[in-house]
Amino acid sequence: MAPAKDREQMKTSAVSSGGNVHVEFEDGIAWVAMNRPDKRNAMNPALNDEMLKVLDDLEVDDACGVVVLTGMGDSFSAGMDLKEFFRDLDDLPYTQQVHKRRSAWQWQWRQLMAYPKPTIAMVNGWCFGGAFTPLIACDLAIAAEEAVFGLSEINWGIIPGGNVTRSVVAAMNLRDAMYYVMTGETFDGRKAAAMGLVNEAVPKERLRARTRELAKVLLSKNPTVLRTAKVAVRAVQGMPWELADDYLMAKSHQARYLDPEQGRSQGLKQFLDEKSFKPGLAPMRRGTEGEI
């Protein structure tokens, strides 16, 4: 990747990390695309290794404020590459299989679910099987109305494994998850939005523009508080109310301590003293480092 200072001088630039992952930078947005369009962006060990490295680099790159995950061509991802990720590895000793496959679960849910920067999945086309895991691990998701989703594993004698089933039941209600896991039927972006698998579905020609709009909203927020908020939402899902109350109070204090913009003080000053901030009606003006 080019140095951050060079990218910041260009409105849009494109780089590639090894060929299986394509990255574009645009005004604080890193568009990260799985780049195997001839295979419907099926995820093989090489792609998984590269994606792990790309996300690791973007985590500390000041040119990246929001990560958008998508696929090149007409597909998001057809899931795991059946030949390279399964058949080619099945005859290897178990420890070698685990080594080759580790980067898949590392980036697809461990890394994405705990990622410090906001993430948006932009589902531009086919999204099948293993692709559900990184889709759901992203913070937000926008799909093309024409996108085709499917958990087709039941049709060829296996279950959705690799934490696909776990991710599905985290995002969809039980009846919907049961239906699509057990029947293997496909559904479109509109249905995905209706079930809560994605936040919204838009016509494909509007997909990138709508995703950009959402990314810019996230870029306008205080990054320290935004990072704390997204971590807190995931963490409190399984907590009792009493424990969640203590945890959220601690996270609130942590955000105030770590925030170089002193967003809380800025907000109170703009609301109480300057009368320039109206919560729920107008956004707070972002402060500068060290300003109170």
- What CA–CA distances, in Å, run from 210 to 122, 142, 146, 274, 287? 10, 8, 15, 33, 27
Alpha carbons 203 and 211: distance in angstroms, whole number: 12
For the entire predicted model, the pTM comes to 0.86
The CATH number for 174's domain is: 3.90.226.10
Total count of domains within the chain: 2
In a domain, 65, yes or no: yes
- Which residue ranges in the chain fall short of pLDDT 70? 1-18, 82-90, 92-94, 96-103, 262-292
User: 230 - beta bridge partners?
Assistant: none
Task: At 260, list the tokens.
Answer: 């170089």
Whose CA is closest to 72, among 107, 42, 34? Answer: 34
pLDDT given at position 2: 43
Contacts of 251 (CB under 8 A, 6+ apart): 228, 231, 232
Containing structural domain, residue 169? 4-219
Alpha carbons 19 and 285: distance in angstroms, whole number: 40
- Tell me, yes or no, whether 93 and 194 share the same domain: yes
- Tell me, yes or no, whether 25 and 139 share the same domain: yes
In a domain, 209, yes or no: yes
pLDDT given at position 238: 86
Phi then psi for residue 45, to 5 deg, are -55, -40
- Tell me, yes or no, whether 68 and 84 share the same domain: yes
Alpha carbons 182 and 153: distance in angstroms, whole number: 9
Alpha carbons 49 and 18: distance in angstroms, whole number: 10
Alpha carbons 219 and 53: distance in angstroms, whole number: 23
pLDDT given at position 246: 92
- Tell me, yes or no, whether 51 and 30 share the same domain: yes
- Tell me, yes or no, whether 211 and 231 share the same domain: no
H or E element, residue 141: strand 140-144
* CA trace torsion 234, 235, 238, 240 (10° rounding): -130
pLDDT given at position 76: 98
- Tell me, yes or no, whether 135 and 234 share the same domain: no
Helices (H), 107-147: 112-113, 132-137
- Tell me, yes or no, whether 95 and 233 share the same domain: no
- Tell me, yes or no, whether 35 and 23 share the same domain: yes
H or E element, residue 47: helix 45-59
User: 226 - beta bridge partners?
Assistant: none
pLDDT given at position 159: 87
- Tell me, yes or no, whether 76 and 132 share the same domain: yes
pLDDT given at position 277: 52
- Tell me, yes or no, whether 144 and 233 share the same domain: no
